[in-house]
Amino acid sequence: MKQLLYSKRVAPYVFILPFLITLAVFWVVPLGRSFVMSTQEVLYGQATFIGADNYARLWRDEIFWKAMFNSMRYMVLTILLLVPIPLVLAALVNAKIGSPRVKAFFKASMFVPALTSVVVAGIVFRLIFAESDSAMMNQVAEFFGLGPVRWLRGDLTGLAALLSLALWRWTGVNMMYFVAGMQSIPSEYYEAASMDGAGKFRQFLLITVPNLKPTIVYVVTISIYGGLAMFLESFMLYAGNNSPNNQGLTVVGYLYRKGIEENDLGFASAVGVVLLVIVMTINLTYLVASGTFKKQEA
Amino acid sequence: MAANPPTAVRPTPAPQGADGGERPRSAPRTAAGRARFSPTAGAWIQAGFLVLIAAIALVPLVAIFVGTFQDGNDVIRRGMTFDVDLGALSLDNYVLLFTDSGPYFRWFANSLLLTVAQVAGTLLVSSFVAYGFAMYEFRGKTLWFVMVLLVMTVPFEMLMLPLYVQVNDMGLADTYTVIVLPFLAAAVTIFFFRQYFLGIPRELLEAGRVDGVTEYGIFFRIVLPISKPAMAAMAILNGMICWNNFLWPLLVLRTPEKFTLPIGLNTLLTPYGNNYELLIIGAFFSLIPILILFLAFQRFFIEGMTAGAVKG
Inter-chain residue contact B146 with A33, CB threshold 8 Å = no
Helices A213-228 and B141-153 pack at an angle, to 10 degrees, of 60
Of the listed ranges A42-46, A84-88, B17-21, B92-96, the one predicted with least confidence:
B17-21
pLDDT score of B258: 94
Are the C-beta atoms of B269 and A239 separated by less than 8 Å?
yes
pLDDT score of B186: 94
Three-state secondary-structure class, residue A41? strand
CB < 8 Å to A172, chain B: 57
pLDDT score of B40: 77
CB < 8 Å to B283, chain A: 119-120, 123-124
CA distances from A111 to A53, A91, B100, B302 (A): 47, 16, 34, 8
ipTM of the complex, rounded to two decimals: 0.88
Angle at B244 between CA A268 and CA A218, to 5 degrees: 75
pLDDT score of B300: 84
Low-confidence ranges of chain B (pLDDT < 70): 1-39, 271-274, 308-312
- CB-based contact, A201 to chain B, within 8 Å: no
Give one DSSP letter per residue of B27-43, joined into a string.
S--SHHHHHHT---HHH
CB < 8 Å to B251, chain A: 260
pLDDT score of B11: 35
Q: Cite the DSSP H helix spans in chain B.
A: 31-36, 41-67, 72-78, 92-99, 104-135, 141-153, 156-169, 176-180, 187-198, 202-210, 215-217, 228-244, 247-252, 261-268, 276-296, 298-305
Domain spans, chain A: 61-297
pLDDT score of B138: 93
Establish, for the pair of chains A and B, how many residue pairs have beta carbons separated by less than 8 Å: 347
A 261-280 residues with CB < 8 A to B: 265, 268-269, 272, 275-276, 279-280
Inter-chain residue contact B163 with A181, CB threshold 8 Å = no
Please tell me the pTM assigned to this model.
Answer: 0.87
Domain B104-305: which CATH number of 1.10.760.10, 3.30.450.20, 1.10.3720.10, 3.30.1950.10: 1.10.3720.10
pLDDT score of B1: 36
Query: Hey, which residues does A40 pair with through a beta bridge?
Result: A49
- Determine the CATH number of domain A61-297: 1.10.3720.10
Q: What is the DSSP-derived secondary structure letter of residue B266?
A: H
Check whether A45 has a pLDDT greater than 80.
no
pLDDT score of A231: 96
Phi and psi dihedrals of A100, rounded to 5?
-60, -30
CA–CA gap between residue B146 and residue A70 (Å, rounded): 31
Cβ-nearest to A128 among B60, B161, B243: B60
CA distances from A53 to A47, A60, A251, A270, B9 (A): 14, 11, 19, 10, 67
A 3-42 residues with CB < 8 A to B: 6-9, 11-23, 25-27, 29-31, 33-34, 37
Whole-number CA gyration radius for chain A: 24
How many Å separate Cα A252 from the centre of its chain? 12
- CB-based contact, A105 to chain B, within 8 Å: yes
